[in-house]
Amino acid sequence: MLSHRQLFLLNNAQTSGSPRLLEIEKAEGVHIFGPDGKEYIDLVSGFAVSNVGHRHPRVVQAIKDQVDRYMHVTVYGEFVQAPQVLFAQKLVSVLPKPLDSVYFVNSGAEATEGALKLAKRYTGRRKIISCHNAYHGSTQGALSVMGNDYYKQGYQPLLPDIEFIEFNSFRDLEYINSETACVIIETIQGEAGIRVPTHEYMLALRQKCDETGTLLILDEIQTGFGRTGKLFAFEHYNIEPDILLLAKGIGGGMPIGAFIARTEVMSVLKENPILGHITTFGGHPVCCAAGLATLETILEENMLEGISERAALFKQLLRHSAIREVRGIGFMMAIQLERFEQVEAVSSLCAKNGLIIDWFLHCDSALRVSPPLIIAEKEIRKACAIILDALDQCTGQHG
Ligand code: PLP
């Protein structure tokens, strides 16, 4: 009989020639367990998803309660489903006042798609501006605004009228003009290897969009729900987006995304033609129930408290001659090494020693540190000891 690992390689479509092949039995809190009972500390959170920890009891209970009532009943936007209504209401209550209309979708990429369509439709303009090294998803519209040609080359033609600007460059804001429908930008760039823009830049970007009637789309799919120490990363900058993108962590481990705008903007999707965006499973009631429980849990359990102190502990402990820099904000960090080979060797050794760590799509010379927000000091110390030990072994340098 073939093992699960062999079957995975045989019947499951592969995305690369070198999958991790870690077999999972169970996950709980900050830990993932293999079939042999091996315990791993998770520093990746399923790529910024398990912010409240794996299988948070409140999220699990909300899912079970909803499954006992109903699962899918109809396409998005027709029936009144309490989990959708209550999750949207809760989201709106924690967002700046103008952002009062939530369109639920299935994923980050679909949120990007919906937002780009909305911006074109609302402004009547064609031009879209994105950033070099941006990542907004992998469907064709989202891929079109990806700031890395390597991943796009095999899929041309993609969307026309897209321009790329340098993230955090004042000079490039000049490209935004009265023909621009939207600027789509990650508030903190994730897959670029964690790039944090300055306050001045974000203010100037907001101002330029205002001056030119351009919609500002902030992609908070990776930063959303607390990863940076604030519920949303734009709170660090005193600016507000015209359209906000959420996914990943907002579902507490269930698949859901959303694009959020003011009603006046969003309402263009409902007429002339109607059904400006159609999604069968968007806002799935079980996912919305999980999302509501996730948001309530973060707020009621004060999960954002102490993130900056615990992030500082990572930075303090991660000192090694092979580490060039530890950068980031909150639990969205990158450990910059010199080369991919080091990153690859360190992450393999870490996995062997009970730690899950990875790298970034557009920056493979840095290790990704994005643990569940609940990670405790003891687990941080253990994780850092495993990383430093792996660095010693891989580089032959000590400390
Ligand atoms: N936007 C950002 C900033 C992301 O990091 C990601 C995924 O990594 C996406 C969009 C796409 O999300 P999804 O994988 O749910 O389509």
Q: What is the 3-state secondary structure (H, E, C) of 360-392?
A: ECCEEEEEEECCCCCCCHHHHHHHHHHHHHHHH
pLDDT of residue 396: 83
Other C-beta atoms closer than 10 Å to the C-beta of 69 total 12
Other C-beta atoms closer than 10 Å to the C-beta of 72 total 11
pLDDT of residue 28: 98
Look over the chain and give the mean of its residue pLDDT values, rounded to a whole number. 97
pLDDT of residue 399: 78
Of the residues 274, 300, 326, the one at which a domain ends: 300
Residue 173 and residue 156 share a domain: yes
Q: Tell me the C-alpha distance between 305 and 231, whole Å.
A: 11
Task: Look at strands 127-131 and 180-186 and give their pairing.
Answer: parallel
Beta bridge partners of 329: 332
Q: Tell me the C-alpha distance between 223 and 197, whole Å.
A: 13
Q: Say whether the peptide bond before residue 157 is cis (omega within 30 degrees of 0).
A: yes
297 band by pLDDT with thresholds 50, 70 and 90: very high
395 band by pLDDT with thresholds 50, 70 and 90: confident
Spatial CA neighbour of 302 closest among 229, 396, 394: 229
CATH of the domain at 350: 3.90.1150.10
Calculate mean pLDDT across residues 224-246: 97
Q: Flag whether pLDDT at 205 surpasses 90.
A: yes
| Distance in Å, CA 208 to ligand 1 centroid | 26
* 120 touches 126 (CB < 8 A): yes
255: left (phi over 0), alpha (psi -120 to 50) or beta: beta
Q: Tell me the C-alpha distance between 42 and 347, whole Å.
A: 12
| Distance in Å, CA 220 to ligand 1 centroid | 9
Q: Tell me the C-alpha distance between 42 and 304, whole Å.
A: 18
pLDDT of residue 163: 98
E-assigned strands of the chain? Answer: 26-28, 31-33, 39-42, 101-105, 127-131, 162-165, 180-186, 215-219, 243-246, 257-261, 325-329, 332-336, 355-356, 358-360, 363-369
Residue 248 and residue 182 share a domain: yes
398 band by pLDDT with thresholds 50, 70 and 90: confident
* 366 touches 343 (CB < 8 A): yes
pTM of the entire predicted model:
0.98
- Residues across the chain: 399
Residue 338 and residue 266 share a domain: no
Residue of minimum CA distance from atom 1 in ligand 1:
136
| Distance in Å, CA 85 to ligand 1 centroid | 24
If one residue of 136, 145, 146, 227 were mutated to test the ligand 1 pocket, choosing by the most ligand atoms within 8 A of its CB, it would be 136
pLDDT of residue 397: 78
Other C-beta atoms closer than 10 Å to the C-beta of 37 total 8
Question: Which tens digit of pLDDT belongs to each residue from 59-107?
Answer: 999 999 999 999 999 999 999 999 999 999 999 999 999 999 999 999 9
Of the residues 300, 335, 359, the one at which a domain ends: 300
103: left (phi over 0), alpha (psi -120 to 50) or beta: beta
| Distance in Å, CA 221 to ligand 1 centroid | 6
Of the residues 275, 300, 325, the one at which a domain ends: 300
Residue of minimum CA distance from atom 12 in ligand 1:
108
Residue 98 and residue 201 share a domain: yes
Q: Is the dihedral of CA 296, 297, 298, 302 positive or negative?
A: positive
Residue 148 and residue 12 share a domain: no
| Distance in Å, CA 1 to ligand 1 centroid | 37
Residue 85 and residue 49 share a domain: no
254 band by pLDDT with thresholds 50, 70 and 90: very high
Ligand 1, residues at Cβ distance < 6 Å: 47, 107-109, 112, 135-137, 186, 190-191, 219, 221-222, 247
Question: Which tens digit of pLDDT belongs to each residue from 97-147?
Answer: 999 999 999 999 999 999 999 999 999 999 999 999 999 999 999 999 999
CATH of the domain at 122: 3.40.640.10
Question: Which tens digit of pLDDT belongs to each residue from 161-189?
Answer: 999 999 999 999 999 999 999 999 999 99
Calculate mean pLDDT across residues 5-27: 96
- Collect contacts of 28-35 with beta carbons under 8 A, ≥24 apart: 28/53, 28/54, 28/55, 29/53, 29/54, 29/55, 29/372, 29/374, 30/54, 30/371, 30/372, 30/374, 30/375, 30/376, 30/379, 32/356
Spatial CA neighbour of 257 closest among 224, 216, 218: 224
Residue 295 and residue 241 share a domain: yes
Other C-beta atoms closer than 10 Å to the C-beta of 351 total 20
Spatial CA neighbour of 145 closest among 132, 126, 154: 132
Q: Is the dihedral of CA 205, 211, 214, 217 positive or negative?
A: positive
The number of domains in the chain is 2
Residue 68 and residue 180 share a domain: yes
Residue 224 and residue 157 share a domain: yes
Please give the torsion angle defined by the CA atoms of residues 346, 350, 355 and 359, in that order, rounded to the nearest 10 degrees.
20
Percent of the chain with pLDDT over 90: 98
Q: Write out the residue range of the structural domain in which residue 20 sits.
A: 4-55+303-395
Residue 134 and residue 190 share a domain: yes
| Distance in Å, CA 112 to ligand 1 centroid | 9
Residues near 252 by beta carbon (within 8 Å), at least 6 away in sequence? 50, 51, 52, 56, 59, 290, 291, 293, 294, 297
Helix orientation angle between 377-395 and 307-317, rounded to the nearest 10 degrees? 30
Residue 234 and residue 337 share a domain: no
HSE-CB of 272 using CA atoms within 13 angstroms: 5
Percent of the chain with pLDDT over 70: 100
pLDDT of residue 342: 97
Q: Say whether the peptide bond before residue 197 is cis (omega within 30 degrees of 0).
A: no
If one residue of 232, 248, 279, 360 were mutated to test the ligand 1 pocket, choosing by the most ligand atoms within 8 A of its CB, it would be 248
Q: Flag whether pLDDT at 391 surpasses 90.
A: yes
Residue 114 and residue 86 share a domain: yes
